[in-house]
């Protein structure tokens, strides 16, 4: 009788040991599965995050931001020199040397065509200083609030625009210059008077095409 109980208890011990061994195996496998799933999720998130910001896009953004700084400094320096020249001369005046040095070849070719038309017809196109948007009255304008409006570095011809404000006595004129990248530097290709919505280049073409200013 006793021996039978011993045999029975032994069998129960073996069953319990087998049962807990199976449970341990299941729990261990579940932990590994959850761990693997968690690692897969983390990996997926990391891959998705990296794909949103590629090295190429970062390089492009950094290049554009750097070029914006170059454009801004170029325009500021040009107008700093212009104001210094005005101070020496006692105010704004016509100075084609600034066009020659700081404007595009296309702009200067058009300017020479306008000058030729003025001489041939006895008419006058430039009634204001397109650099300062003021009349040749000897006033001393100042230039401030420069801001890069846009930069295009992807087109065959790189372009940019900078807005600023011309202050003259008790009035002011919002203005804009368009630039092109030519011969390794940024040069001005057009002037805009934003107060009266005057596109100087377009007005020049109209003058050249007609015997009078439209």
CA–CA distances in Å: residue 56 to residues 69, 88, 126, 152, 155 = 20, 48, 46, 17, 17
R_g of the chain computed on alpha carbons:
38
- The reported pLDDT for the residue numbered 8 is 38
Cβ within 8 Å of residue 140, ≥6 positions away: 83, 86, 87, 90, 91, 92
Task: Give the pLDDT of the chain (214 residues) as one tens digit per residue.
Answer: 444 443 433 444 444 444 445 444 444 444 444 444 444 433 333 333 333 444 555 577 888 999 999 999 999 999 999 999 999 988 887 788 999 999 999 999 999 999 999 888 888 888 788 999 887 667 789 999 999 999 999 999 999 999 999 998 889 999 999 999 999 999 999 999 999 999 999 999 999 988 665 4
Assign 120 to helix, strand or coil.
Answer: helix
Residue identified by tokens 């020659």 is 100
φ, ψ of residue 45 in degrees (nearest 5): -60, -45
The answer to whether 176 touches 189, Cβ cutoff 8 Å, is no
As given in the structure block, the two tokens for residue 164 are 């600023």
Burial 116-151 (b: 16+ CB within 10 A, else e): ebeeeeeeebbebbbbbbbeeeebbbebeebebeeb
Separation of alpha carbons 141 and 130, rounded Å: 13
> What does 63-129 look like in DSSP terms, one character per residue?
HHHHHHHHHHHHHHHHHHHHHHHHHHHTS----HHHHHHHB-HHHHHHHHHHHHHHHHHT----SSB
């Amino acid at each position: 009788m006793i021996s039978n109980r011993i045999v029975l208890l032994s069998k129960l011990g073996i069953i319990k040991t087998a049962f807990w061994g199976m449970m341990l195996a299941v729990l261990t496998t579940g932990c590994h599965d959850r761990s693997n799933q968690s690692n897969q999720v983390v990996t997926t998130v990391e891959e998705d995050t990296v794909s949103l910001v590629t090295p190429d896009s970062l390089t492009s953004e950094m290049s554009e931001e750097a070029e914006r700084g170059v454009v801004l400094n170029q325009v500021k320096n040009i107008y700093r020199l212009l104001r210094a020249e005005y101070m020496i001369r006692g105010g704004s005046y016509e100075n084609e040397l600034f066009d020659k040095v700081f404007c595009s070849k296309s702009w200067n070719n058009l300017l020479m065509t306008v000058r030729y038309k003025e001489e041939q017809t006895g008419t006058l196109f430039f009634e204001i200083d397109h650099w300062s948007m003021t009349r040749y009255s000897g006033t001393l304008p100042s230039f401030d609030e420069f801001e890069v409006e846009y930069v295009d570095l992807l087109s065959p011809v790189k372009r940019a625009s900078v807005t600023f404000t011309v202050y003259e006595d008790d009035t002011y004129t919002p203005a804009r210059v368009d630039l092109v990248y030519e011969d390794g530097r940024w040069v001005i290709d057009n002037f805009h008077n934003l107060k009266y919505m005057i596109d100087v280049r377009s007005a020049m073409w109209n003058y050249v095409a007609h015997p009078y200013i439209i």
